[in-house]
């Protein structure tokens, strides 16, 4: 049985994951508008991942006999100065999400809620991967500065990304 406090914190995290999805979908639309379909695809897959994260929390709350309460999703930005600004915001956002996950782990440990802590460890690992992949993308984008043709090569590469629901693996 989840404590009231833990249930509320997990419900808040569903909202944060869905907000993240909304943010990345907005970034995808921005890239479509800028004529960068590969970046748009990469962000669309990122948005799909966030929905799968929200669903992992959704299913977990239900499995523990808790009650899912969905809250409104706050508006997301829709304009950025350039490609680098979008990727920088993505990295900063993933770092913020990592801190949210760490706070949830702290709460689970405090409550000796081993099941929730165990479920959250999937997210601890996932956040390491998320930060690493966005950091790698930022490095690539930074290398294109002053070489606009290189961005098209990166765009082509990012167009290959396909969504795999990792919450269903392992």
Nearer to ligand FEO among residue 145 and residue 165 (C-beta): 165
List, in sequence order, the alpha helices (H) in the chain. Answer: 4-33, 37-63, 83-110, 114-143, 148-158
Q: Does 17 bind ligand FEO (CB under 6 A)?
A: yes
Among 10, 47, 50, 167, binds ligand FEO (CB under 6 A): 50
Nearer to ligand FEO among residue 126 and residue 151 (C-beta): 126
Whole-angstrom distance, CA of residue 57 vs CA of residue 53: 7
Query: Smallest distance from the beta carbon of 87 to ligand FEO, in angstroms?
Result: 14
Q: Does 53 bind ligand FEO (CB under 6 A)?
A: yes
Binding footprint of ligand FEO on the chain (CB under 6 A): 17, 20, 50, 53, 94, 97, 130
């Amino acid at each position: 049985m989840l404590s009231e406090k833990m249930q509320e914190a997990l419900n808040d995290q569903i909202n944060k994951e869905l907000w993240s999805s909304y943010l990345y979908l907005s970034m995808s639309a921005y890239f479509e508008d800028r004529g960068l379909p590969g970046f748009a695809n990469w962000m669309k897959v990122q948005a799909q991942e966030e929905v799968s994260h929200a669903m992992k929390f959704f299913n977990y709350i239900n499995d523990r006999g808790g009650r899912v309460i969905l809250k409104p999703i706050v508006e997301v930005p829709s304009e950025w100065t350039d490609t680098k600004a979008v990727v920088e915001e993505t990295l900063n956002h993933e770092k913020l999400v990592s801190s949210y996950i760490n706070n949830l782990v702290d709460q689970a440990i405090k409550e000796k809620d081993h099941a929730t802590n165990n479920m959250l460890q999937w997210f601890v690992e996932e956040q390491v991967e998320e930060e690493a992949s966005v950091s790698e993308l930022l490095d690539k984008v930074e290398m294109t500065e002053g070489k606009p043709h290189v961005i098209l090569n990166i765009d082509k590469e990012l167009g290959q990304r396909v969504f795999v629901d990792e919450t269903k693996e392992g």
